[in-house]
Amino acid sequence: MLVLPKGVRHIPGYLDRDAQEELVADIRAVVAAAPLFTPAMPRSGKEMSVRMTNCGALGWVTDRALGYRYQATHPVTGKPWPAIPARLLEVWDALSACPRPPEACLVNFYADTAKMGLHQDRDEVDLDAPIVSVSLGDSCLFRIGGTSRSDRSVSFRLDSGDVVVFGGPSRLAFHGVDRIYPSTSALLKSGGRINLTLRRVGARQACAM
């Protein structure tokens, strides 16, 4: 039996097919206003295989020169990020147990061979708030361990419509995406996987988780 780390709540199929289609339409509008960009690692400049954009007051970006950070504008267009779609704010309100709204929503797009190495998300100040993740399109193999890179990890599949809340002791857990399972969903016309992560960035604020 799979035992998830403490603080991880996986809700398979939280969004039904209609809700997923509506959310994809919302995200297409976000991407039209704020095109996907290819993030690069600090210093090395090595490009990530995942393409990204954001919505919300702040967006997470990275490039060779300035590294990981949140900023209010798109790194290529210089424009403010579009608003977080109302449907996503509803997911946050229903599941986060956090009274303050998310300030950032990172949109990750994975083509068939994209992956994301094991990492911690620690560019936020408000670590009391959880991160709420929504998966759309092709399935992936997700891995999460503990707060040390060498801690044992568990792997599980995330399918389209799944939502995961990472709070409490899991908020600083190492995690990554080991692989995409191509052609496992017909939601996205050209395939691939979208992951949306709703985040609090700024000042600390107590939350239930």
Beta carbons of 178 and 115 less than 8 angstroms apart: yes
From candidates 88, 114, 195, 200, binder to ligand MD3 by CB under 6 A: 195
Q: Enumerate residues 6+ apart whose C-beta is below 8 A from 18.
A: none
Closest CA to 171 of 111, 97, 114: 97
Q: Which does 201 bind (CB under 5 to 8 A by kind): ligand MD3, Fe ion, none?
A: none
Rg (CA), the chain: 16
- For residue 112, how many other CB atoms are within 10 A of its CB? 13
Count Cβ atoms within 10 A of the Cβ of residue 18 and give its class: 0-12 exposed, 13-18 middle, 19 or more buried.
exposed
Name the β-bridge partners of 163.
11, 134
Residue 7 C-beta: closest distance to ligand MD3, Å: 8
Using rule CB under 6 A, residue 74 touches ligand MD3: no
Using rule CB under 5 A, residue 121 touches Fe ion: yes
Count of residues in contact with Fe ion, rule CB under 5 A = 1
Binding string, residues 145-174; x marks residues near ligand MD3 by CB under 6 A? -------------------x-x---xx-x-
Q: Which stretch binds Fe ion (CB under 5 A): 10-18, 64-72, 113-121, 177-185?
A: 113-121
Residue 91 C-beta: closest distance to ligand MD3, Å: 14
Using rule CB under 6 A, residue 51 touches ligand MD3: no
CA distance 134 to 164: 7
In the block, residue with structure tokens 């929503």: 105
| Residue whose CB is less far from Fe ion, 23 or 50 | 50
| Residue whose CB is less far from ligand MD3, 14 or 166 | 166
Closest CA to 134 of 100, 87, 167, 174: 87
Using rule CB under 6 A, residue 139 touches ligand MD3: no
CA distance 66 to 138: 32
Beta carbons of 58 and 81 less than 8 angstroms apart: yes
Binding string, residues 76-115; x marks residues near ligand MD3 by CB under 6 A? ------------------------------x-x-------
From candidates 27, 58, 88, 116, binder to ligand MD3 by CB under 6 A: 116
Residues in contact with ligand MD3 by CB under 6 A are 106, 108, 116, 121, 131, 133, 164, 166, 170-171, 173, 175, 177, 195, 197
Residues in contact with Fe ion by CB under 5 A are 121
